[in-house]
């Protein structure tokens, strides 16, 4: 098992990618701390892991709240005494398909908070635990949209910001045996799309995207979880500051 005896925090663990990643890490031997703003859904994933796979605990935290994030990490320090891995998956896009003239600043700032601020806060608090233990693996969630999108202005800015922040952190933390990398998936099949777009629009989007991607399909949450597993494991011990695109060759 590739994460035997590791303590791993997975944020956004109630969601499509986060729940699969949490299960994948538990199967590889990690004790997984699941965090999401949706405590009810997060508890369901946590209970399933605890009953069928391995060690898990969960917390309901709004990761845009500095106070709640500080409390989360203080509880981790109290309960586990260390933290080996952080995978910052929580996030989303609350302003898709805006024209440049109609950027709504309230929603745009929400996107920056939900994606970039939450990641920054978790990395800051994680560094306080990881530096003294001289070990850490941090994996942040960017998106292929970091390259630019004609109608996702604040989302792409937040995901580009995560890549820049990841590189800066890698520079600052390398000397403490802490690696920091980011994932950039293209379209991933998650339930949230069916909920937001409805089944017909989602099917049309998935089909059109699959036709554009050289590998002829969109990503599964497992594709992303396996990339996170690689970067969180000691197989990636000499890789830091990198952005791994999980895109089936899209935008080559």
Ligand X SMILES: NC(=O)c1ccc[n+]([C@@H]2O[C@H](COP(=O)([O-])OP(=O)(O)OC[C@H]3O[C@@H](n4cnc5c(N)ncnc54)[C@H](O)[C@@H]3O)[C@@H](O)[C@H]2O)c1
Active-site positions read: 155
Cα–Cα dist 233/45, whole Å: 22
37 touches ligand X by CB under 6 A? yes
Contact window for ligand X (CB under 6 A) among 76-84, 85-93, 128-136, 207-215: 85-93
Q: Is the dihedral of CA 66, 71, 74, 76 positive or negative?
A: negative
Q: Does 161 participate in binding ligand X (rule CB under 6 A)?
A: no
Q: Can you say whether the dihedral through the CA atoms of 120, 228, 17, 28 is positive or negative?
A: negative
Q: Which is nearer to ligand X, 76 or 114 (CB)?
A: 114
Residues that contact ligand X, how many (by CB under 6 A) = 27
Determine how many CB atoms are found less than 10 A away from the CB of residue 68. Answer: 16
Does residue 54 interact with ligand X by CB under 6 A?
no
Q: How far apart are CA 9 and CA 122, in angstroms?
A: 10
Residue nearest to ligand X (CB): 15
Only segment of 25-33, 61-69, 128-136, 227-235 that touches ligand X (CB under 6 A):
61-69
Binding mask 185-214 for ligand X (x = CB under 6 A): x-xx-x-x----------------------
Q: Could you give the CA distance from residue 209 to residue 217 in angstroms, rounded to a whole number?
A: 8
Which of 36, 95, 125, 223 is the binder for ligand X (CB under 6 A)?
Answer: 36
Phi, psi (deg, nearest 5) at residue 8 = -125, 130
Instruction: Work out whether 91 is an interface residue with ligand X (CB under 6 A).
Output: yes
Contacts of 1 (CB under 8 A, 6+ apart): 27, 28, 29
**Contact positions toward ligand X, by CB under 6 A?**
12, 14-18, 36-38, 61-64, 89-92, 114-115, 118, 141, 143, 185, 187-188, 190, 192
């Amino acid at each position: 098992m590739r994460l035997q005896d590791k303590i791993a925090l997975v944020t956004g663990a109630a969601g499509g990618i986060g729940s699969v990643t949490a299960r994948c890490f538990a199967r590889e031997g990690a004790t997984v701390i699941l965090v999401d703003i949706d405590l009810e859904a997060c508890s369901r994933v946590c209970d399933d892991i605890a009953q069928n796979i391995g060690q898990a605990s969960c917390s309901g935290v709004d990761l845009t709240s500095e106070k709640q994030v500080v409390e989360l990490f203080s509880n981790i320090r109290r309960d586990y005494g260390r933290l080996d891995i952080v995978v910052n998956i929580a996030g989303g896009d609350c302003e898709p398909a805006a024209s440049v003239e109609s950027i709504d600043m309230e929603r745009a700032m929400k996107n920056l908070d939900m994606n970039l601020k939450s990641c920054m806060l978790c990395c800051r608090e994680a560094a306080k635990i990881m530096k003294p233990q001289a070990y850490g693996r941090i994996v942040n969630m960017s998106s292929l949209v970091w390259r630019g999108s004609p109608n996702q202005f604040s989302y792409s800015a937040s995901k580009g910001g995560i890549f820049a922040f990841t590189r800066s952190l890698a520079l600052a933390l390398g000397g403490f045996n802490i690696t920091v990398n980011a994932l950039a998936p293209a379209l991933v099949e998650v339930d949230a799309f069916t909920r937001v777009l409805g089944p017909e629009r989602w099917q049309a989007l998935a089909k059109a995207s699959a036709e554009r991607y050289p590998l002829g399909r969109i990503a599964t949450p497992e594709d992303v979880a396996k990339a996170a597993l690689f970067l969180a494991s000691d197989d990636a011990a000499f890789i830091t500051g990198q952005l791994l695109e999980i895109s089936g060759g899209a935008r080559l």
